[in-house]
C-alpha cells in the first residue's frame, strides 16, 4: 500500500487526498505538522531533501515529492490524466500555472490571514499577494467562462490541483463574487463522485 505524508490543512496535500478518494486508492496517511518542523527532521529530510510535504512513499521505500508530480504519477492510466499528447500538455500547462502563478499568492495569503497572529509583519505582503492572486483568478475565469473544466477531456488532475486552494481563496481575503465561472466550476468539482471536502 502507498503512504502519503502530508498536513491536512495544506491545499497541496489535500490535492492527493482528493485524487486518491476519487480513484478509490487504498493509502496510508501520515500527518506531518510542518508548522512544528516535522518536515525538517533528519528522518524526513532523508526521504525529501527539500523538506516539504506532500510526499508519496511506495511500498518498496521509493519516495516522490512535489504535489503535482505525485498527482500525475498516481493518475497515470486513469481518466484524470489524458493519454493524448496535446491534452496531456494542457494538463501540465495548468499544473505549472497552479504552482507558479496561483499557489504562491492565493495559498500564501490564506496562510498569513489564517495562521499568523493579528499584526504580524508578514501582513504587509497581503496587498501584493492579493493583486497577483486576482490576476490568477482572472486567467481561470476567462478559461472557465468558455470551458467546463481546464482540459477538454473532462475533470482531471489540473482541476484537482487548482481546486485545492481556490475553494479556500476567500479565507485569504479573495472575494469570488467577480468570478461567476470559477464559482460554478467549484460546484462542478464538488459534485464529482468520490469528492471529499477538506477537513482540518
Binding site for its own copies (CB under 8 A): 49-50, 52, 62, 64-70, 72-73, 76, 85-86, 88-90, 92-93, 95-97, 99-101, 103-104, 138-139, 142-143
Give me the least distance between CB of 83 and its own copies, in Å please: 11
Q: Which residues contact 10 (CB under 8 A, 6 or more apart)?
A: 34, 53, 54
Give me the least distance between CB of 127 and its own copies, in Å please: 15
Element (H, E) at 71: helix 67-75
Give me the least distance between CB of 111 and its own copies, in Å please: 15
Q: How many residues does the chain have?
A: 200
Q: Give the torsion through C-alpha atoms of 96, 150, 65, 131, to 10 deg.
A: 50
Distance, CA of 179 to chain centre: 19
Of 17 and 67, nearer to its own copies (C-beta) is 67
Distance, in Å, from the CA atom of 30 to the CA atom of 28, rounded to the nearest integer, reads 7
Distance, in Å, from the CA atom of 122 to the CA atom of 98, rounded to the nearest integer, reads 22
Of 32 and 71, nearer to its own copies (C-beta) is 71
Give me the least distance between CB of 179 and its own copies, in Å please: 14
Give me the least distance between CB of 197 and its own copies, in Å please: 25
Of 88 and 188, nearer to its own copies (C-beta) is 88
Of 145 and 196, nearer to its own copies (C-beta) is 145
Of 38 and 195, nearer to its own copies (C-beta) is 38
* Cβ–Cβ < 8 Å for 126, 113: yes
Amino acid at each position: 500500500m502507498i503512504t502519503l505524508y502530508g498536513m491536512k490543512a495544506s491545499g497541496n496535500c489535500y490535492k492527493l487526498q482528493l485524487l486518491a478518494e476519487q480513484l478509490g486508492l487504498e493509502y496510508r496517511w501520515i500527518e506531518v505538522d510542518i508548522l512544528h518542523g516535522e518536515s525538517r527532521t533528519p528522518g524526513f529530510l532523508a526521504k525529501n531533501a527539500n523538506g516539504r510535504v506532500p510526499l508519496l512513499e511506495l511500498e518498496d521505500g521509493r519516495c516522490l515529492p512535489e504535489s503535482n508530480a505525485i498527482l500525475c504519477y498516481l493518475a497515470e492510466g486513469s481518466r484524470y490524466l489524458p493519454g493524448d499528447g496535446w491534452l496531456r500538455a494542457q494538463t501540465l500547462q495548468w499544473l505549472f500555472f497552479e504552482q507558479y502563478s496561483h499557489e504562491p499568492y492565493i495559498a500564501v495569503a490564506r496562510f498569513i490571514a489564517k495562521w499568523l497572529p493579528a499584526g504580524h509583519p508578514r501582513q504587509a505582503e497581503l496587498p501584493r499577494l492579493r493583486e497577483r492572486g486576482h490576476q490568477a483568478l482572472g486567467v481561470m475565469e476567462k478559461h472557465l467562462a468558455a470551458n467546463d473544466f481546464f482540459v477538454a477531456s473532462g475533470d482531471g488532475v489540473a482541476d484537482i490541483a487548482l481546486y485545492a486552494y481556490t475553494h479556500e481563496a476567500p479565507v485569504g481575503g479573495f472575494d469570488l463574487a467577480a468570478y461567476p465561472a470559477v464559482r460554478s466550476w467549484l460546484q462542478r468539482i464538488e459534485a464529482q463522485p468520490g469528492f471529499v471536502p477538506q477537513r482540518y
